[in-house]
Amino acid sequence: MTSPLWVFGYGSLLWNPGFPVAETRIARLHGWHRSFCMTSIHHRGTEEDPGLVLALDAAEDAYCDGLALRAEAGTEQATITYLRERELISSAYVETRQEVEFRDGARQEEVLTYVINRDHVQYCQYPLERQAEIIADAHGGRGPNDEYLFNTAAHLAELGIGDAEMEDLVAQVKALKGIT
């Protein structure tokens, strides 16, 4: 690979990329929004008791602020292989190349981005209250579903790109679990 590999992180890639990162930049992806619209039957839930994880869901006037991560030079192919094993475990995500806008206004045309396949059985849409109930109880191979939510919300806030809906979801899950 001759050009740098950029990956768009909007969920767990923010706090657990799993590959060597040389550079990070705040970035905005137009036409998509961050949503707990994918059931998790492997990482944050089970087939019997699915959790919820984030995915990018298409919406005409939407945007998602996240983090563009540039893989260290020489690790591009290994990074792609790793991400495919991690993100495409059930084919609910689709691997795409998107254009993002960096906070300074510069554009990056080729950013590896995983988006939801709306035709996949794991695609879902629940009201916020139902999302909170599911996330409060689910647990999968990578740990509790609420840990995923809390880590993602904390990292978004730390980056200065907090998500109001996610913050409301955090409050609802904490209330359900009796966490102050």
Pairing of strands 51-71, 143-144: unpaired
Domain count, the chain: 1
- List, for residues 80-136, the tens digit of each pLDDT value: 999 999 999 888 999 999 999 999 999 888 999 999 999 999 999 999 999 999 999
Active site residues: 87
CATH code, domain with 79: 3.10.490.10
Asked if residue 144 is part of any domain, the answer here is yes
pLDDT of residue 2: 63
- List, for residues 29-84, the tens digit of each pLDDT value: 999 999 999 999 989 999 999 999 999 999 999 999 999 999 999 999 999 999 99
Region of 31 please: left (phi>0), alpha (psi -120 to 50) or beta. left
Asked if residue 116 is part of any domain, the answer here is yes
Q: Would the pLDDT of 1 be above 50?
A: no
Asked if residue 1 is part of any domain, the answer here is no
User: Could you please report the per-residue DSSP string of 50-101?
Assistant: -EEEEEEEEEEEEEEEEEEEEEPTT-HHHHHHHHHHHH-SSS-EEEEEEEEE
- Owning domain of residue 74: 6-177
